[in-house]
Each structure stands twice: as C-alpha cells, then as structure tokens.
C-alpha cells in the first residue's frame, strides 16, 4: 500500500513539473513577444515624430514662399492722397476733463452716501429729530480740559464750613463750563438747555428733572452740573441728587466727600438735612450718592425714595437727578416715573442711533415724559458749526433764560 501511494505522489509531482515547465515556456515566449512589440513601437514613434517635424518644416517654407510671392506682386493703388493738417491735432482735453469731473463727482456722491450708511452715529440736530424723534434742547460744543480755567483763579470749589472733608478734594474743573467762564460758548449752550427745560412744560417750569443717557461716557453728569449752575444763577434754589449708586461722579466734579449721602438716608433712619451739602456756588446744594450699596435698584424703588422727592420738592425750586446709563441698568427707568420729566444726553459722533432709539423706547414704555435730547460734546468745526453760528444762535437766547424764570 505504501509503495502504491508513493508511486501515485511521484506521478502527480511529474505532472505538476510538466505543467510548470509548459507555463514557464509560455511566459518566456510572451516576454520575448513584448520586447519585440516595444522595439517596433519605438521605431514607429520615431518615424511619426520625424514625419511631423518634416510636415511642420514644409508648412513654414510654404508660408514663406507665399509671402515672397505676395511681395513680388504688389496690388496696392493710391485712392486719395493724404492732406496736410491746418492745425495741430491732439487729444480732446476739455472733453476728458469734463468726463473726469463727472466721474469724480458721481464717485464722491456715492462715497458720501456710503459713509453715511456705514456711520450710524448721531452728529447733528437733524439726526436727533430724524432718528430719535425727540426735540433737541441744545447743542453743547466739545470742551477741552486746557480750554477751561478753574473757578476763582485756580481756587477749589468747596462746600460750606458745615461739611466735612469737602475742601480736601480737588474738583474736576474741566466739567464746570458755567462756573469757569460764564461767557464761553459752552456756558451759553447750557443756558439754552436751561431755557428749553424751563419752557418744556405748560403752566409752570418742571421741578424734578432726571438726566440720563443711553451708555456711559456721554456727559450726563456734566450736563446735570452745568444746568444746575445755570438755574442757580437765576436765583432759584437748586439741588443736585446723585442717584448713580453704582459709579457716582458728581462729588468728584465739586470736590466733596460722598461718605454719607442718598444711600445712607435710604438704608437708615436718619434726617436728610445732615446729608445735603451746600456748595460754594450760591443757591446750589448737593446730595451725594453716599456709600455704594449692594442693591441700588431696590433702594431707588422704595417708598422712602418717593417720599424724599416729595419732601425736597417743597424745599427747592428745582431738583436735578443724575442717574446711571439707561441701557445697562433699570435705575433710570424707575426714577423716570418719580420725576416731572427726563432729559436724554446723547454724545455727538459717538452715540449710535440704535442706542438712542432704545433709550427713548425704554422711557416711553413706562410712560415717562421725555423733554428732549441734549446733543453733547459736538465738534462744532467738524460738524459744520462755526463760531459765527454759535455767536448768532446763542445771542438770540441770551435773555430768554432770565425771562423764563420771571
């Protein structure tokens, strides 16, 4: 059995060997055929390239021969002789200048409209009426710190002798336009704001006025201070209440202490008389903010705040309230329901239309009476107002403020 099995395996191996030899011979034949085909392909390719080069050379020579034949047989003939010009001929400069002028004019107009579309800030009185839809109470020119002198030839603003630590603080005199120079353009501008405010209500002038703005840095504190000074110059008793219980600054303007003030009265059982500070300016007093509380909105919305305003209204002719920016907190909205009217301060060239419109919407939603807008810190030369305009404009209102009080 073993012998037969080995014999069968041997025969199978022989058959495999013959099969492999046959396949190997076939592969060698195919390889030789491929080599011959490759050689034949290279020969044919060389012949094609040679034929192509010869054809290209033939076309070039044929074209050159045609050109030479055309040169030998000139078929051109003179139709009309050239005329000598009577004057110099050149480009039409006037037409080019007009075309350039029209293109530049159209481009300038288009650029101006594009810049107006991109710039969404409020810059002029017309912008106030068009976008905010409120009357403009006045235009306050930009006041530089170097252009305003300190009150009293460099003396500090101080409170009366009854206040403590008041004279140890340096006032920010660059915000006191009326106290520094009563005949400056800025002082006249605040007198116009005073006149507009006094004439904003029928029957009698408003007694309690809230001054607010849409966002920080628009000049509401400066407007409060200078408007209060202009009212005090008429002989009226004026009180400034700093209701900005988050970031107060009125005390810095006058250089007084705010260790005790409005927040002290609203959070404790204390008399208000000891908290009101009489300033060096006649007829003008200040109720500072006091220590910054953790809950300003709750204090302002309390019944004690409402009763305080009712009590102070009987003592003073006018009360001006400084508040935080309206967009960020609800304090001005709460106060607007407790006063006779609101003045909205808008920074010229900085405040956007959207912010001013939202501020007006916030006030009108709660039923507040908005007297109008004070366009503050306007670059008069940049926005097209010259000194002659301000002199003529404010001279017309020079006597109105004094007549309004009478």
Contact in structure between 283 and 237 (CB atoms under 8 Å): yes
Which pLDDT does position 74 carry in this prediction? 61
107 is a domain residue: no
Mean pLDDT value of segment 367-388: 76
User: pLDDT per residue over 18-37, tens digit each?
Assistant: 888 888 888 888 888 898 98
Mean pLDDT value of segment 381-394: 52
67 is a domain residue: no
Residue 340 is part of which domain span? 122-405
Give the strand pairing for 284-287 and 277-278.
antiparallel
Which pLDDT does position 152 carry in this prediction? 30
Highest mean pLDDT among 126-130, 166-170, 337-341: 337-341
Which pLDDT does position 149 carry in this prediction? 34
Which pLDDT does position 381 carry in this prediction? 65
2 is a domain residue: no
Residue 74 and residue 69: Cα distance in Å, rounded? Answer: 9
Q: Which of 217, 115, 208, 186 is nearest to 387 (CA)?
A: 186
Sign of CA dihedral 305, 310, 313, 314: negative
The pTM of the full predicted model, rounded to 2 decimals, is 0.64
Which pLDDT does position 55 carry in this prediction? 92
Average model confidence (pLDDT) across the chain = 81
Mean pLDDT value of segment 347-369: 89
Which pLDDT does position 153 carry in this prediction? 31
367 is a domain residue: yes
161 is a domain residue: yes
Residue 378, pLDDT > 90, answer: no
Which pLDDT does position 141 carry in this prediction? 86
Contact in structure between 162 and 275 (CB atoms under 8 Å): no
Tokens of 281: 């300016």
Residue 146, pLDDT > 50, answer: no
User: pLDDT per residue over 124-140, tens digit each?
Assistant: 888 888 888 999 998 88
User: pLDDT per residue over 64-115, tens digit each?
Assistant: 888 777 776 666 677 788 888 877 777 778 888 999 999 999 999 988 888 7
Mean pLDDT value of segment 321-346: 91
Residue 316 and residue 204: Cα distance in Å, rounded? Answer: 14
Residue 171 and residue 154: Cα distance in Å, rounded? Answer: 11
Confidence label for 6 from pLDDT (cuts 50, 70 and 90): confident
207 is a domain residue: yes
Classify residue 281 as exposed, middle or buried by CB count within 10 Å of its CB (0-12, 13-18, 19+). buried
Number of structural domains found in the chain:
1
Which pLDDT does position 201 carry in this prediction? 84
User: pLDDT per residue over 258-300, tens digit each?
Assistant: 889 999 999 988 889 889 999 888 999 999 999 999 888 899 9
Which pLDDT does position 172 carry in this prediction? 56
Here the CATH number for the domain that contains residue 401 is 3.40.50.300
89 is a domain residue: no
Higher pLDDT, 172 or 404: 172
Neighbours of 392 (CB within 10 A): 10
Residue 369 and residue 25: Cα distance in Å, rounded? Answer: 111
375 is a domain residue: yes
Q: Hey, is 378 helix, strand or coil?
A: strand
Mean pLDDT value of segment 309-321: 93
Residue 359 and residue 100: Cα distance in Å, rounded? Answer: 46
Residue 139 and residue 189: Cα distance in Å, rounded? Answer: 6
Residue 331, pLDDT > 70, answer: yes
Q: Which residue has the tokens 């390889």?
A: 31
Residue 226, pLDDT > 80, answer: yes
Which pLDDT does position 165 carry in this prediction? 37
Q: Which residue has the tokens 């907190």?
A: 329
Which pLDDT does position 159 carry in this prediction? 35
CA 41 to chain CA mean position, Å: 76
Residues across the chain: 406
Which pLDDT does position 166 carry in this prediction? 37
Residue 38 and residue 82: Cα distance in Å, rounded? Answer: 69
């Amino acid at each position: 059995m073993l012998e037969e099995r080995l014999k069968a395996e041997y025969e199978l191996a022989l058959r495999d060997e013959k099969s492999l030899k046959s396949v190997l011979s076939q592969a060698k034949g195919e390889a030789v055929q491929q080599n011959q085909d490759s050689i034949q392909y290279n020969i044919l390719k060389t012949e094609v390239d040679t034929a192509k080069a010869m054809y290209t050379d033939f076309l070039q020579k044929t074209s050159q021969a045609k050109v030479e034949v055309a040169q030998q047989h000139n078929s051109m003939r003179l139709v009309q002789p050239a005329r000598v010009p009577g004057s110099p001929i050149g480009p039409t400069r006037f037409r080019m200048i007009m075309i350039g002028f029209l293109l530049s004019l159209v481009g300038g107009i288009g650029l101006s409209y594009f810049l107006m579309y991109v710039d969404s800030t409020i810059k002029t009185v017309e912008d106030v009426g068009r976008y905010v839809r409120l009357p403009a109470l006045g235009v306050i020119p930009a006041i530089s710190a170097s252009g305003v002198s300190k009150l009293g030839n460099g003396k500090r603003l101080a409170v009366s002798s009854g206040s403590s630590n008041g004279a140890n603080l340096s006032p920010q005199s660059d915000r006191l336009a009326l106290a520094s120079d009563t005949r400056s353009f800025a002082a006249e501008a605040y007198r116009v704001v005073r006149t507009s405010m006094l004439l904003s209500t029928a029957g009698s002038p408003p007694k309690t006025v809230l001054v607010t703005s849409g966002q920080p840095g628009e000049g509401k504190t400066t407007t409060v201070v200078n408007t209060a000074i202009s009212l005090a110059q008429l002989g009226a008793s004026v009180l400034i209440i700093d209701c900005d219980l988050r970031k107060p600054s009125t005390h810095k303007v006058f250089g007084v202490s705010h260790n005790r003030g409005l927040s002290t009265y609203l959070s404790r059982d204390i008399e208000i008389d000891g908290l009101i500070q009489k300033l060096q300016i006649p007829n003008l007093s200040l109720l500072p903010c006091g220590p910054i509380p953790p809950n300003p909105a709750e204090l302002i919305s309390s019944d004690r705040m409402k009763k305080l305003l009712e009590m102070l209204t009987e003592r003073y002719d006018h009360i001006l309230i400084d508040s935080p920016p309206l967009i960020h907190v609800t304090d001005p909205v709460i106060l607007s329901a407790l006063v006779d009217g609101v003045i909205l301060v808008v920074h010229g060239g900085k405040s956007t239309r959207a912010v001013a419109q939202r501020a007006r919407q916030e006030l009108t939603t709660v039923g507040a009476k908005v007297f109008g807008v004070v366009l503050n810190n306007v670059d008069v030369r940049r926005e097209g107002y010259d000194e002659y305009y301000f002199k003529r404009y404010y001279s017309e209102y020079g006597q109105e403020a004094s007549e309004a009080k009478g």
